[in-house]
Amino acid sequence: MAPKRSERTLFLAWQDSRSRQWFPVGRLDADTTRSMFRFRYTGGAERAQLEGGFSLAADFPELKGDYRSPVLFPLFGNRIMPTERPDFADYVQILDLPVRADPIEILAVDGGSHVTDAFEVFPKLEKGADGNFRCRFFLHGWRYVNSTAQTRLDRVAVDDRLHVTLELSNPVARVAVQLQTLDYHVIGWAPRYLVKDLMMALAESPGTCVAHVVRVNPLPAPSQQRLLIELAGNWGRHEPMTDRDFQPLVE
């Protein structure tokens, strides 16, 4: 196993409640070894303001602020379970992580969704020298598939392979990335804020995108964490998460 990197990047995503569109609005750079955390809004925040009426987070009131801290900002830290909770071990097991996982590792998988706001967190996707990439996420939208697919979903097991396909007529997002069982039941979708980059992998390196089920979490696990998926592929010449939406407004 490769050694854990101390310097990692997470993005903050915000969802417009009217259009249901997701915008990457902020970037968190973290060095857990040296206890250094830095937050900046990205170009996606300006677009979210124009298209969705996005309001800046109370923790970060200046659009072009450069926020630094020796501890994780509350907006992020409050999204994960405290380690002293007696059910913390069960919590990280749902995420397929060890008990010693640090907050950035946890947020990268958990997503940190709250019923009290419209934010989620996701990790910066990394491209290898050979163009390959690998990412994990919880299956989105499974509650909205048809009854036949719901029945099939009940039989999905760990290590099951899944088809990864591009959907060009999604009624909500228009373009989406579907996850299908090998017998072609659509059981859900990849997160919308990853679609643009996943779409490039499907276009530039057809047939290289593959996915499988990492973990199945039955009740009483939260419904949004029912299926943990790992997706791998190749980007060819595409550089992920480099468009203006992901670029910090402060250098």
Indicate whether 21 and 91 sit together in one domain: yes
**What pLDDT does residue 7 have?**
86
**What pLDDT does residue 4 have?**
53
**What pLDDT does residue 128 have?**
94
Indicate whether 139 and 210 sit together in one domain: yes
Question: Mean pLDDT per segment of 10 residues, for the chain of length 251 residues?
Answer: 67 93 96 92 98 96 97 95 93 95 95 89 94 95 94 96 92 88 96 92 86 93 92 93 96 87
Indicate whether 140 and 116 sit together in one domain: no
Residue 39 lies in a domain: yes
Indicate whether 74 and 109 sit together in one domain: yes
Indicate whether 12 and 111 sit together in one domain: yes
Indicate whether 142 and 117 sit together in one domain: no
Q: What share of the chain is helix, strand, coil (3-state, %, to 5)?
A: 25, 30, 45
- What residues contact 228, with CB distance under 8 A and at least 6 apart? 94, 95, 96, 109, 136, 137, 138, 139, 213, 214, 215, 216, 217
The C-alpha atoms of residue 133 and residue 217 are separated, in whole angstroms, by: 25
Q: Domain holding 171: CATH number?
A: 3.30.70.2330
- Tell me which residue range forms the domain holding 61: 7-124
28 backbone dihedrals φ, ψ, rounded to 5°: -110, 120
Indicate whether 24 and 116 sit together in one domain: yes
**What pLDDT does residue 3 have?**
40
Residue 145 lies in a domain: yes
Tell me the β-bridge partners of 123.
10
The C-alpha atoms of residue 72 and residue 83 are separated, in whole angstroms, by: 14
User: Which structure tokens are listed for 226?
Assistant: 């029912």
Residue 141 lies in a domain: yes
Residue 248 lies in a domain: no
| Count of structural domains, the chain | 2
Residue 220 lies in a domain: yes
